[in-house]
């Protein structure tokens, strides 16, 4: 742990802001999947760039934590680098790129491939917490729908997909039901990652800074992707294997290598990929 | 409203550590957490309850407290919270009944109160059998000194979900939590 | 062999070094001083104070310099700074009736107590580029000064209200909400709406206000009054127990007079649209007053069908720091989501192809 930036409180936020956010987190945990409004602060990073996740992380983080930050599954993407550097600067916490070593993982758009444990907390950056917003833009109205668990609109929309395309056409930010009660946005993770949320041993916290909402999924909680008996949920991944580690199970990024249709596929989770490459080298 | 009892030795880091204990307790109902380091509590409050108040309560959260004048003075000084009886966000009153506290509304269930309940002891051994979110299969929790009829009241309170009251149990420097989503069987 | 892109940290460092160079520009020219920005680009500073919701000319000028003249970026810098400041208390409401006036005009009366005071305005300038300004070194002629006539300058709306012609705002003892501490919720009351508008983006409010003039909302506005000047900020410190003046701030206030037809219980009266912004910002104050009145549609029993009358729509979208962040976040990597869409579309195309072949 290095000395945090002087002139600012530990982890940037003042203590009364942290208390407010901590209270919201606890209510979120107690009501799995329910969006708790909170007095989101203006952060020194832009709204939409992870301010919700940053506020949640800043409110839970302590000197004993080891922080990992990923964007698109990778530790080295520029926004992940920037957020990790922010926490090193204002909290002086240890950071890591290894999923296994982290106690707190802040993520945008992915869940790590390595199964998380009871000793970890996964913090999602959420751009739009309301799963119903494309169907009903008025917040007052969606709040009423959640109160009544009135989710018929979402089923109708998914069914229209099936009628038009022969399948559910949503491939990311795929809505889930939490503990059989609340419809929840998993944040824009690929639908491929949805099954990892179900009965995950780690606590999952979600922060939406601009929309000023926090929500949570406690460990071991049921998280079901919406589907129909005749059109079951299908996680999607490119059918190739990783060009670097050979993985056939991980989620892949497509990389264009020329302008004549040349392309390769590599793991989106860089730590997972590096670990597999190292293991293969060690075996050789 | 002066008090001779201190707050946290390190207000920033002790609050963080206590919060993580409470978060862990709330996320894994029935698992007992230890507050470290516990603050020196005024008479009428366990070190755990004192730590929870210092961590979560402030001017924005009205508190209902019946723990004697020294505890009241201490809370006013260190938390700066309004003390009142009805509509409190946090309640530390052994006479409080779950069904009488604010459960929030279906649209705003997060407004439901948090009850801090002092008990004689907390152990992860057979007594209550807890199931629900945060629990893999079932957790055993042995609580000595809970109010009579608590389990029956809990079932009635839980039937209102998502409205409801969340409970933080305190015994000495130990805590466990009962989020409103958890089911308790007297076993 | 493909190697994954690395070096994000180095790239960021290099980019920011380049930004600093660009900010400085040609080093053979003198560096602009914050005091020069504050003095000579005063309206930029005012806009940054208004949208950054922090009245500090020096800090706003620094933000303008740091942001290379990007005023939304500057407002963002100022806001991120102000959130870290401790609060000492809440001031008493400003008494704009006691404003030390630099400019005051009314469109509803030819003359009135306190008079029409043009003040430093672009109005009636001919918008011809002034090439004399291109050659630095010109000192402007001293503007002629008149003795203040010492008469009070009552607010026009107050003069109307004395006659019962202007609806008075209901006094309220309720503590107004604080958007910087509590999230918006709906229905939003007027103090919260005004707070959001006062911090809102000038361009967004201008467009919305304009739309109410063009038939999107039933507006018949008159500028009752615009006043620009300094007002005292007063505070009662708990340890003193009496009110003290802690300083002056510059503000622009606009009160729009709007028609209201009255009802069975109320005789016809004019109603108010209100705008107040930090600094000299007439366009913003006027647009704010138009939008404020439009947002009162429900309270006035008017049909609320136009965009400017939809509180959720206006208040959720008027904040340019929020809007900028979310629009600009689209340039962050989204390739994980895009990949899932790619695979999805490929799969759908393949099954469509199979179906077509089967049909042939």
User: How high is the ipTM of this complex?
Assistant: 0.97
pLDDT at C138: 79
**DSSP element (H, E) containing C1:** none
Instruction: Kindly report the nearest CA distance between residue A158 and chain C, in angstroms.
Output: 15
Q: CB B166 to CB A27 under 8 A?
A: yes
pLDDT at B1: 53
Out of A38, A42, A273, whose CB is closest to C321?
A42
Q: Which residue of A lies nearest to C348 if distances are taken between CA atoms?
A: A165
Residue A28 annotated among the catalytic residues of the structure: no
Query: Residues A10-56: pLDDT tens digits?
Result: 999 999 999 999 999 999 999 999 999 999 998 999 998 999 999 99
Q: Which chains touch A (3 or more CB pairs under 8 A)?
A: B, C
Which of A177-181, A189-193, B161-165, C150-154 is predicted with the least confidence, judged by mean pLDDT? C150-154
Inter-residue long-range contacts of C181-186, CB under 8 Å, 24+ positions, other chains counted: C181/A39, C182/A39, C183/A37, C183/A38, C183/A39, C183/A40, C183/A212, C183/A213, C184/A212, C184/C315, C184/C316, C185/A37, C186/A139, C186/A140, C186/C311, C186/C312
Whole-number mean pLDDT of chain A? Answer: 93
Which of B87-101, C62-76, C335-349 is predicted with the least confidence, judged by mean pLDDT? C335-349
The catalytic position among A52, A73, A209, A273 is A273
Q: Which residue of C lies nearest to A240 if distances are taken between CA atoms?
A: C343
Residues from chain B that touch A181, judged by Cβ atoms under 8 A, are 161-162
Residues from chain A that touch C321, judged by Cβ atoms under 8 A, are 42, 46-47
Strands B90-92, B63-65: pairing kind: parallel
Q: d(Cα C331, Cα C342) in Å, to the nearest integer?
A: 18
Whole-number mean pLDDT of chain C? Answer: 91
Q: Is the peptide bond before A65 cis (omega within 30 degrees of 0)?
A: no
Question: For residue C10, what pLDDT band results from cuts at 50, 70 and 90?
Answer: confident
B154 near B97, Cβ under 8 Å? no
pLDDT at C254: 97
Q: What is the largest CA-CA distance in chain B?
A: 48
Residues from chain B that touch A9, judged by Cβ atoms under 8 A, are 12
Residues from chain A that touch B107, judged by Cβ atoms under 8 A, are 143-144, 146-147
* Per-residue pLDDT at A123 exceeds 50: yes
Which of B89, B59, B104, B96 shows the shortest CA–CA distance to B77? B59
Q: What is the dihedral sign for C-alpha C219, C224, C228, C229?
A: negative
Query: Residues C180-208: pLDDT tens digits?
Result: 889 998 899 999 999 999 999 999 999 99
* Per-residue pLDDT at C90 exceeds 90: no
Instruction: Kindly report the nearest CA distance between residue C327 and chain A, in angstroms.
Output: 8
* Burial of C322 (C-beta count, 10 Å sphere; 0-12/13-18/19+): buried
* Per-residue pLDDT at C1 exceeds 60: no
- For C142-155, give one letter per residue: b (16+ CB within 10 A) or e: eeeeeeeeeeebeb
Q: For chain A, what percent of residues have pLDDT higher than 70?
A: 98
For chain B, which residues make up each domain, given as ranges? 11-186
Residues from chain C that touch A41, judged by Cβ atoms under 8 A, are 83, 180
Q: What is the pTM of this model?
A: 0.91
pLDDT at A153: 92
Question: For residue A162, what pLDDT band results from cuts at 50, 70 and 90?
Answer: confident
Strands B33-34, B174-178: pairing kind: antiparallel
Out of A82, A127, A171, whose CB is closest to C343?
A171
Task: Report the pLDDT averaged over residues B33-54.
Answer: 94
* Tokens matching residue C311: 């509180």
Q: What residues of chain A, 177 to 206, have a C-beta less than 8 Å from chain B?
A: 179, 181-182, 199, 201, 203
Task: Report the pLDDT averaged over residues A185-199.
Answer: 97
Q: CB A60 to CB B166 under 8 A?
A: no
Residue A209 annotated among the catalytic residues of the structure: no
Give Cβ neighbours of residue A173 (< 8 Å, ≥ 6 apart): A185, A186, A187, A188, A189, C337
A86 near A242, Cβ under 8 Å? no
User: Could you tell me which residue, C201 or A9, shows the higher pLDDT?
Assistant: C201
**DSSP element (H, E) containing C120:** none
* Tokens matching residue C287: 């647009």
Instruction: Specify which residues B174 forms β-bridges with.
Output: B34, B171
Which of B137, B134, B140, B96 shows the shortest CA–CA distance to B122? B140
Which CATH fold would you assign to the domain A15-225? Answer: Rossmann fold (3.40.50)
* Per-residue pLDDT at C2 exceeds 60: no
Q: For chain B, what percent of residues have pLDDT higher than 70?
A: 99
DSSP for chain A? -PPPPTTSBTTBS-HHHHHHHHHHHHHHHHSTTPPEE--PPPPSS-TTSSHHHHHHHHHH--TT-EEEEEETTBSSSHHHHHHHHHHHHHH--EE-S-GGG-SEEEEES---SSPP-TT-EEEEE-S---TTTTT---HHHHHHHHHTT--HHHHHHHHHHHHHHSS----BS--EEETTTEEE---S-BGGGHHHHTT-SSEEEEEETTTTEEEEE-TT--EEE--BTTB-------SS--TTT--SSS-EEEEE-SSSS-EEEEES-HHHHHHHHHHHHHH-
Q: d(Cα A89, Cα A82) in Å, to the nearest integer?
A: 10
Out of B17, B27, B105, whose CB is closest to A29?
B27
C9 near A85, Cβ under 8 Å? yes
Task: Report the pLDDT averaged over residues C137-153.
Answer: 82
- CATH number for the region B11-186 comes to 3.40.50.11310
Alpha carbon C331 to its chain centroid, in Å, reads 26
pLDDT at C5: 56
pLDDT at A94: 94
Residue A152 annotated among the catalytic residues of the structure: no
Question: For residue C234, what pLDDT band results from cuts at 50, 70 and 90?
Answer: very high
Query: Residues A225-270: pLDDT tens digits?
Result: 999 988 899 888 889 999 999 999 999 999 999 999 899 999 999 9
Which of A188-192, A266-270, C7-11 is predicted with the least confidence, judged by mean pLDDT? C7-11
Residue A242 annotated among the catalytic residues of the structure: yes
Q: Is the peptide bond before B162 cis (omega within 30 degrees of 0)?
A: yes
Which residue in this structure is represented by tokens 């795929």? Answer: A174
B117 near A153, Cβ under 8 Å? no
pLDDT at C353: 87
Query: Residues B63-86: pLDDT tens digits?
Result: 999 999 999 999 999 999 999 999
Out of B13, B27, B59, whose CB is closest to A219?
B27
Q: Please report which residue ranges of chain C form alpha helices under DSSP H.
A: 8-24, 34-40, 42-51, 57-66, 71-82, 131-134, 156-162, 190-199, 202-213, 282-294, 311-317, 320-328, 335-359
Query: Residues B47-58: pLDDT tens digits?
Result: 999 999 999 999
The separation between the first and the last C-alpha atoms of chain C, rounded to the nearest angstrom, is 43
Compute the C-alpha angle C149/C155/C159, nearest 5°: 105
pLDDT at A1: 47
């Amino acid at each position: 742990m290095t000395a945090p930036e002087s002139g600012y409180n530990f982890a940037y936020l003042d203590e009364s802001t942290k208390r407010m956010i901590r209270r919201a987190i606890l209510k979120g945990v107690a009501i799995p999947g329910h969006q708790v409004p909170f007095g989101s602060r203006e952060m020194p990073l832009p709204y939409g760039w992870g301010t919700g996740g940053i506020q949640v992380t800043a409110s839970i983080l302590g000197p004993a934590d080891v922080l990992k930050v990923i964007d698109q599954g990778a530790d080295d993407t520029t926004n992940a680098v920037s957020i990790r550097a922010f926490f090193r600067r204002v909290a002086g916490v240890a950071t890591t790129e290894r999923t296994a070593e982290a106690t707190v993982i802040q993520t945008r758009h992915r869940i790590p491939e390595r199964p998380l444990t009871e000793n970890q907390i996964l913090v999602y950056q959420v751009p739009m917490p309301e799963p119903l917003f494309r169907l009903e833009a008025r917040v007052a109205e969606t709040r009423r729908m959640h109160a009544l668990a009135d989710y018929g609109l979402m089923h109708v929309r998914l069914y229209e997909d099936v009628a038009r395309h022969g399948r559910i056409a949503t491939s990311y930010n795929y809505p889930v039901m939490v503990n059989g009660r609340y419809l929840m946005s998993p944040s824009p993770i690929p639908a491929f990652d949805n099954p990892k949320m179900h009965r995950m041993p780690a606590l999952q916290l979600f922060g939406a800074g601009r929309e000023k909402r926090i929500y949570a999924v406690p460990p071991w909680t049921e998280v079901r992707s919406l589907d129909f008996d005749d059109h079951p949920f299908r996680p999607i991944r490119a059918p190739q294997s990783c060009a670097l580690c050979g993985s056939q199970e991980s989620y892949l990024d497509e990389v264009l290598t020329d302008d004549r249709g040349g392309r390769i596929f590599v793991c989106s989770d860089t730590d997972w990929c590096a670990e597999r490459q190292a293991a293969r080298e060690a075996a050789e | 409203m002066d008090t001779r009892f201190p707050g946290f030795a390190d207000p920033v880091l002790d609050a963080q550590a206590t919060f993580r204990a409470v978060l862990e307790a709330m996320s894994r109902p029935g698992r007992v957490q230890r507050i470290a380091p516990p603050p020196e509590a005024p008479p009428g409050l366990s070190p755990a309850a004192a730590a929870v108040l210092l961590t979560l309560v402030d001017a924005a959260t009205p508190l209902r407290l019946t723990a004697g004048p020294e505890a009241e003075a201490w809370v006013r000084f260190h938390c700066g919270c309004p003390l009142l009886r009805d509509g409190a966000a946090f309640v530390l009153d052994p006479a409080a009944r779950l069904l009488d506290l604010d459960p929030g509304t279906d649209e705003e269930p997060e407004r439901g109160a948090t009850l801090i309940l002092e008990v004689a002891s907390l152990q992860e051994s057979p007594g209550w059998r807890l199931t629900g979110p945060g629990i893999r299969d079932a957790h055993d929790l042995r609580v000595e000194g809970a109010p009579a009829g608590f389990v029956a009241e809990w079932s009635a309170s839980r039937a209102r979900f998502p409205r409801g009251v969340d409970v933080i149990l305190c015994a000495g420097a130990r805590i466990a939590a009962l989020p409103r989503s958890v089911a308790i069987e007297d076993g | 062999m493909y190697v994954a892109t690395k070096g994000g940290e180095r790239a960021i460092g290099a980019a920011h070094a380049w930004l600093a160079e660009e900010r400085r520009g040609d080093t053979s020219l003198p560096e602009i001083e914050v005091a020069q920005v504050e003095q000579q680009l005063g309206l930029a500073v005012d806009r940054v104070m208004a949208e950054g919701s922090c009245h500090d000319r020096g800090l706003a000028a620094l933000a303008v310099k740091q942001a290379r003249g990007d005023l939304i970026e500057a407002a963002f810098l100022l806001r991120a700074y102000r959130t870290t400041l401790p609060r000492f208390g809440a001031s008493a409401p400003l008494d704009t009736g006691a404003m030390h006036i630099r400019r005051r005009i009314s469109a509803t009366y030819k003359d009135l107590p306190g008079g029409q005071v043009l003040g430093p305005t672009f109005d009636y300038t001919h918008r011809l580029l002034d090439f004399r300004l291109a050659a630095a070194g010109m000192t402007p002629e001293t503007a002629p000064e008149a003795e203040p006539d010492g008469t009070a300058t009552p607010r026009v709306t107050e003069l109307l209200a004395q006659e019962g012609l202007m609806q008075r705002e209901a006094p309220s003892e309720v503590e107004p909400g604080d958007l910087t501490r509590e999230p918006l919720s709906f229905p939003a009351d007027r103090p919260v709406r005004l707070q959001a508008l006062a911090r809102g983006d000038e361009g967004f409010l201008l467009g919305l206000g304009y739309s109410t003039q063009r038939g999107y909302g039933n507006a018949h506005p008159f500028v009752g009054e615009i006043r620009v000047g300094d007002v005292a900020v007063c505070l009662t410190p708990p340890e003193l127990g009496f009110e003290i003046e802690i300083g002056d701030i510059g503000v622009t206030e606009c009160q729009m007079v709007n028609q209201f037809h009255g009802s069975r219980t109320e005789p016809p009266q004019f109603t108010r649209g209100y705008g107040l912004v930090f600094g000299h910002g007439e366009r913003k104050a006027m647009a704010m007053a138009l939008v404020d009145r439009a947002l009162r549609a429900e309270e006035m029993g008017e049909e609320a069908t136009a965009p400017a009358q939809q509180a959720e729509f206006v208040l959720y979208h008027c904040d340019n720091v929020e809007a900028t962040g979310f629009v600009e976040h689209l340039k962050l990597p989204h390739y994980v989501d895009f990949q899932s869409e790619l695979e999805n579309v490929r799969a759908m195309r393949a099954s469509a192809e199979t179906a077509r072949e089967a049909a042939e």
